[in-house]
Amino acid sequence: MIKYSLVCKKGHEFESWFAGSEAFEEQASRGLVECPFCGSKNVSKALMAPSVSTSRKKESRAEAIRQLGARPAAPVEGEVLPPAAPGPVALLDENQQKLREAIRELHAKVTENTVDVGEKFAEEARKIHDGEAPERAIRGQASLKQAKELLDDGIPVLPVPSLPDDNN
Ligand SMILES: [Zn+2]
């Protein structure tokens, strides 16, 4: 059984029980549903408050996503790239918090599984590639030019995004 809020053509609101949505449609079309106030058989389901608030929620969520999309993306810089000047710190919303969390985890993983060679990153990456240094995962800093040269020579480098206020 479903309880429907109903409204007649004169705007009287009342509630009634039905076996289901189809039962209501059938009974209403046969003139079996009457307004208890005026006897009108022109009765339809009233807009339920929960469904209204749900659609409002969806609207505001869509609005939030639109605003998020319109906002300039958070600066993502790589450790192999020269750090950009830190921009103004904006209030972080939930999505940005999650992004920061993901970047933090990535950092932890990279830090745990790589050897820090610092400024010698480009040199060391090339040595490993040429077999002059033991093969291992390394991390460090490289200039944009160095990173490009490595990539041009087929040496894979992966820029790790860093947080604006969390540079190593
Ligand atoms: Zn009525």
pLDDT in tens, 69-107: 544 444 444 445 444 555 555 566 888 888 888 878 888
What proportion of the chain, given as a percentage, has pLDDT over 70? 68
Burial of 147 (0-12, 13-18, 19+ CB in 10 A): buried
pLDDT in tens, 14-35: 999 999 889 999 999 999 999 9
Q: What is the C-alpha separation between 40 and 6, in angstroms, rounded? A: 12
pLDDT in tens, 35-56: 999 999 999 998 765 444 445 5
Q: Who surrounds ion ligand 1 at CB < 5 A?
A: 8, 10, 12, 35, 37-38, 40
Q: Which domains does the chain have, with CATH numbers?
A: 2-46 (2.20.28), 77-162 (no CATH)
CA of 34 to the centre of ligand 1 (A): 8
Neighbouring residues of 26: CB distance < 8 A, sequence distance ≥ 6: none
